[in-house]
Structures are given as C-alpha cells and as structure tokens.
Structure 1
Amino acid sequence: MTTLDTRPAEASGHAGAAPYKWRWPALFVILAGSVMELLDATVTSIAGPTMQADLGGGTSMIQWLGVAYTLAMTAGLLTGGRLGDIVGRKRMFLIGATGFVVGSLLCAVAVSPETVIAARVVQGLFGAAMVPQGLGMMKEMFPPKELQSAFAAFGPIMGLSAIGGPILAGWLVDADFFGTGWRMIFLINLPLGLVTVAAAMRFLPATRRSGAVRLDLPGALLASLGSLLIVFPLVQGREHGWPAWTFVMMAASVAVFAFFGWYESRRSRRGGDPLIAPSLFRKRAFIGGMFVGTIYFSAFTGFGLVFNLYTQLGLGYTPLKAGLAGVPLSAGMIVGMGVMQAVKRHGRKVLLAGAVIMAAGVVALLLLLGPETGPWRLAPALLVTGLGSGLVMGPYFQIALSGVDPHETGSASGTLTALQQLGAALGVALLGTVFFGALGGDPTVAAQHTFWVVAGMVALTFLTGFLLPRYAREDAEPVR
C-alpha cells in the first residue's frame, strides 16, 4: 500500500490525519488526465476515413486506429495500477502523462499507416500508466465524507468527453488549422498535456515506494498475447480472405488464456501477487459480470464506430457533421445514467431494462437508414439507444462487484476495467469487419447488417445479465 509522503499540514485522508491540503486542485489534475485519455479514445472514429485517405492503407487501417489504442490500454491497465503501488502513484502519473504527450506528437507527425498505428500503441500504453493512479490518490487525499463528491466529478466529465470528443475531432479536421488537417486532433494534446504535467508536479501528493507488491509481468504478457491473438485475425482476416492462419490464431488465443488462468493460480499458491485473484473465477456472479461487460462494451463501441463510418462513407457527411450527428447518442447516455441514479435501488432490473431499450433503439435506427436520411430523422432512435446504454453502464460495475468478497474488490475492479477496453477492441474488430465486408454494395445495407449484429449482441447482454447479483453492494469500490 502506497503511503503519502506528507507534512503536518498535508497529511493523508486517513482517520486521525488532516486531509491533503491541495486535494481539490489535485482532483482537477487527475480529471485533466482522464479528459485527454477519453478524448483520444474517440477521435479516430471520426477522423479515421480522412486519415486513411491521407496516409493510405486498407480499410482495416481505420479499425487499427482504435484497436491498437484500446489493446495497449488493456495490456497497460493490468499493470499500471500495480506499478503505481511499486514506484509511487505521482511518479507513474507523471510518466504516463509525459509519455501520452510524446505518443500524441508521434501520431501527429506519422507518415504511414504503420507509424500512426505504432504511435497509437504508445498513447495507449502511457495512458494506461496514467489513468489508474487517480483512484488510489483520491482515496488517500480525501476524507470519507468528501470522497463520494470527488468521485461524482467523473460522471459529468465522462459525459462531456463522450459528446465533445467526436465534435472536437470533426471541427479540427474540417477547420484544417495551418494546413494540419487531421493531425491537429493529436497536436491539441501537447499544450493540454504539458499543462497537466506541470500542474501534477505542483499539486499531486508525493508518494513513497511500497515493497509489499510485486509485478506479475509474465501474467501481463500472457493476457496481452491472448488478446492480440484473437483481435488481429478479426481485423486482418477479411482483407486476406480468411486464410487458415486466422483460425489458428483464434484457437491459440483460447489456449493462451487457459494457460494464463493456470499460471495465475500457480503464482497465487506459491505466495506471489497474481495479476487477477484466481478465486474470482470460482464466482458465478463475477463470471457473469465478465460476459456482460465484454459483450456490452463490444456492442456499444463497435456501434459508435460503424455509425460514424456510415455517416461519412454512406451519407457523405463531413467529419464535423458526423460528430454532431452522434450527439443524441451521447446525450441519451448521460440522461440514462442520470435516470439510473433515481432507480438504482432496483439493481439488476435497471440493467436488464436498459438492454431492452438499447436494442429497441438500434432496431429503430437501422429501419430508418437510407441514402436521404438526415440527422434529425436519426436523432430519436439514437437518443433511445443512448438512454438504454446509460441504464446498462450506470449500474454495471457496482452490480458486478457485488458478487466478490471485499479483499477481492481491487483485483476484480481492475479486471473489469481491462475487460471494458478489451471489449471495445473486440467490438471495433468484429463490427468493423462486418461493415467493411458488406460495403462492396450499398453502404446502407452494410450498416443495416452490422446493426442487426449489434442488436443481437445487446440481446445477449440481456440474457447474460441474469448471471449478475440482483442488487449492487453499496460499499463496492468505485471504478473509473
């Protein structure tokens, strides 16, 4: 456990100690880092077609812009929080934020599909080093009576980022400031990132290294390899005609994950620090949470990518207009999460109702698609889709964590957050492949086929939702 390197006036938020003096400015620093990461998670879904037209590469390049980032985030999140315990959270936050700025610069100066995809990996890895440190620092800086207020600040920030990311990306691409075109979506991170680094050096609490926790590097490498072995063939298989090696890789992914589970159990029995507590895999509720989260985040992220591609490739929208067309989806999600707060006492029923509403919105949307479809005609269906999505995601983490014991919560929350990223990568890979595979004819037909798959995935989310506990545990650890 990391402890604050405090002075009398800046003690940690534990009982009997004065709260950290600069805790509220420090919270804004943590939020700034999250904003950078959240924005860059969404911008390429809007800018992707423009980037492909400029840099070349096949249609899979558009998928890799998102997949490379989220896969790197998945790999990094499994170790990022643990590294914060080992070397200090402030130090890891600074390393992550600085590396994220460097990765953004590398994206901005990329001259080929390979270089921009590699730079996205750099962004994802350093983003994963930065983001997990915030939760630990907040729990140390704030006294219990202020902690919930601090966590509550993330909701509006996430909502504004979800709306603002695509709009900002579209505006910057269309504005073409100084002839930079799409490159400005990454260059804008430079001033924001440097200010965040400077503020972090001033306001974040210093921490001392803890020797109690050891890094499970082999486990992290196995989990990353298993993820890559399933995502890579899903993205590249279509362009190569689905040769035998694509199916071999996907089968190998299953074997690697099975070996990963065996290795984690062995490490735990020998007194080591496993990446994931093996006891979690003996709990039906947690397994259900893994399935629900992976399927839902795959469906939602893949849906967002395909909608943005369809509006540009099928309806001829500019990047800015495409970003604005998606606002009802994000707005509906924010409304759904607000409604969830009023009805969360109903627990799992809220999540299940959200899946039904989301599926209805997706079906309504695909029935409205057509070459002359305008954004106002699509808005109601997108709003309903977002409303249902908010009702699913709002209670998901707390309900999924209700099935684990208190000493397993940290491992469980880290695992679910990593699965959120893996699900996003799978959604981009799978649904992007379905869309591009049907794009040879009418883009509207391709989008309709893809959205039927999305509706099926949401229906599967509903069915697996019955594996979750009926109600959330109030003391479940918050998850970013």
Structure 2
Amino acid sequence: MDVPGTLLLGLTLVSLLLPLTEGRAAGWPLWTWVALAVSPFAALAFYLTERRADRLGHTPLVPPSLLRLVSLRRGLVMLAPFSVGFSGFMFVVAVALQQGLRMGPVEAGAALVPMALGYFGASLAGPRLTGRFGSRVVIAGGLVQALGIALVLAAVRYGWPDLGIAGLAPGVAVAGLGQGLQQPVLMRLMLSDVPADRAGVGSGVMITTQQSSLTLGVATVGSLFLALVAPLGMRDALAVTLLVQLGLIAVTTALGLRLPRVVR
C-alpha cells in the first residue's frame, strides 16, 4: 500500500478543496490562505513521491508512467473543466430556482428532468455514433451543450421572474443531450489504452479527477454566483455564471480536438 502517496494526495485535495468550499462562509480567515498556499507544495511532493516509487518498481497510488498514455492524459485534462462546469451549473441552478423563482424542491428537481432524459438518450446512442465518427462525437457534444446553455441563458434573461419548467425545458434538454454525447465517450476513451493489469488504477485516477473537479466546481462557480447575488440580483448573477459555464464548455470542446480520433 502506498501510504506516503495516499497521505500526500489527501493533503493536496483537502488543502485545496476545504478552503474553497468553506472560505466564503467563514469570511476567509487566515487558515484558508495557509491551506491554499500548502496545496501546490503538497501536489509537488505527491508527484515526486509517486515518480520515485514508480522508478523503484513499487506500486504507487498514481503511477506517473500511466499518464504517458495520450488518451488517458488528454482525457483527464478535458474531464476536469467538464466536471467543474457540470457541478457548478447544477448547484447554481438549484439555488436560483428555489430561492430566486421560489420553486419547491420537487418542482426544482422536475425542471431538470429533461436534462436527465436528454443525457440518457444520448448515452444510448453514443456507442453507435462513436463507432462511426470516433472522438468527434465529443466535440459535437460540446457544441450541442453550448447551444443548450445558451437557450437556458436566453430563457433566464427574458423570462425572469415568471420563468417556469416549460420555459427551461428546451435548454436543459439540449444541454443534457450534449453532456450525454461527451462524458460516456470520454470515459471510454480514457481507459481504452490502459493495460488490463492497471485497469483498476486507471479507473481510480479517472474517478478521483472527476470527483475532485465536481467539488471544485461547486466551490468556485457556486461561490462566484453567491458573491454576485447581492450586487447584481439573482437573475443577473445566474446569467453571469451561465456565461462562465459557456466559457468552460468552449475550453472542453477545444481540448476535444486533441483527443485521439479512433475510440476503441
């Protein structure tokens, strides 16, 4: 068991995510800045520890040699902003619907059902589309998702404060469709070149990256939204964060151009 690597990875994630998650509510006390300052040094120590263990023939928690696989490395780089944008969107929209439009929890959840249906349908079609078009499906998914978020932004801009489930449905459905064309294909691509004896490690690296990025999205995009509510109002704060989401989609789509064309 890679005890040093586990401890250093835990320190890296905690020192980054805890202050970002709790800092705004706590008023950004000194410990949050100290933790953020520690985070890059902990990450560097983790990398050096894993590289040394890998070179000595041990079993590191995250073998750096595994990251030499182009499909995994480039997929992870794309997965991070995708997950940041997804979690930030879900958090912000949930708050805006319930506190801004005064929807109840059930109604707010129902407003996102079209997104789930779009994702489900796209994920079913993904294998056939991937076999024909390869990783270009991921790029197309990014463009479709951007269209969906743009429709949500227009609905918020022109429908607030009378916006309801029907007004949101087209945008969130299209956004879910785009997400469904991206994430399943991307995960398949990332693990396609991982050797069978390292499949568990590869999956662990992928899931850790995804979960850490999801937390980071709530902490960063969510904090931005909450900070903007007071000066801008709920509608405009939501509009700004949707523009940030569009920026993240542009990044993921551009990164998709660097993915291997053939998906095995």
TM-score under structure 1 length normalisation: 0.51
- Within 5 Å, give how 1:297-336 maps onto structure 2: 297-336=83-122
Verify: 1:252 aligned to 2:38, yes or no: yes
Give the CA deviation at 1:244. 6.5
Deviation >6 Å, runs of 4+? none
Match of 1:388?
A: 178
Match of 2:246?
A: 455
Residues 112 and 172 in structure 2, CA contact (< 8 A), matched pair in contact too? yes
Verify: 1:363 aligned to 2:154, yes or no: no
Greater percentage in helix: 2
- Within 5 Å, give how 1:392-471 maps onto structure 2: 392-440=182-230, 441-471=232-262
- Give the distance between the partners of 1:223 and 1:289, measured in 2 at CA: 20
Q: CA RMSD in A?
A: 1.8
- Give the distance between the partners of 1:390 and 1:396, measured in 2 at CA: 10
TM-score under structure 2 length normalisation: 0.91
Residues 403 and 469 in structure 1, CA contact (< 8 A), matched pair in contact too? no
Deviations 1:211-267 (A, max 9, x none): xxxx22321221121111111222233345556754543342122111111111222
Give the CA deviation at 1:407. 4.0
Structure 1 residues 468, 244: closer, same or farther in 2, change over 3 A? farther
Give the CA deviation at 1:350. 0.4
Residues 354 and 391 in structure 1, CA contact (< 8 A), matched pair in contact too? yes
* Structure 2: 5+ residue stretches without partners: none
Question: Tell me, what secondary structure is at the counterpart of 1:458?
Answer: helix
Give the CA deviation at 1:355. 0.9
Deviations 1:73-104 (A, max 9, x none): xxxxxxxxxxxxxxxxxxxxxxxxxxxxxxxx
- Give the distance between the partners of 1:285 and 1:338, measured in 2 at CA: 22
- Give the distance between the partners of 1:224 and 1:289, measured in 2 at CA: 22
Structure 1 residues 341, 286: closer, same or farther in 2, change over 3 A? closer
Question: Tell me, what secondary structure is at the counterpart of 1:438?
Answer: helix
Give the CA deviation at 1:402. 2.9
Structure 1 residues 403, 248: closer, same or farther in 2, change over 3 A? farther
* Structure 1: 5+ residue stretches without partners: 1-214, 474-480
Structure 1 residues 364, 225: closer, same or farther in 2, change over 3 A? same
Residues 280 and 404 in structure 1, CA contact (< 8 A), matched pair in contact too? yes
- Give the distance between the partners of 1:471 and 1:267, measured in 2 at CA: 33
Residues 306 and 432 in structure 1, CA contact (< 8 A), matched pair in contact too? yes
**Among candidates 110, 121, 124, match of residue 338 of structure 1:** 124
Structure 1 residues 437, 464: closer, same or farther in 2, change over 3 A? same
Deviations 1:383-434 (A, max 9, x none): 0000000001121111112344444433212110111111111111111101
Deviations 1:26-69 (A, max 9, x none): xxxxxxxxxxxxxxxxxxxxxxxxxxxxxxxxxxxxxxxxxxxx
- Give the distance between the partners of 1:464 and 1:249, measured in 2 at CA: 30
- Within 5 Å, give how 1:18-97 maps onto structure 2: none
- Give the distance between the partners of 1:306 and 1:469, measured in 2 at CA: 33
Structure showing greater radius of gyration is 1
Deviations 1:284-312 (A, max 9, x none): 43221111111111111221111111100
- Within 5 Å, give how 1:1-12 maps onto structure 2: none
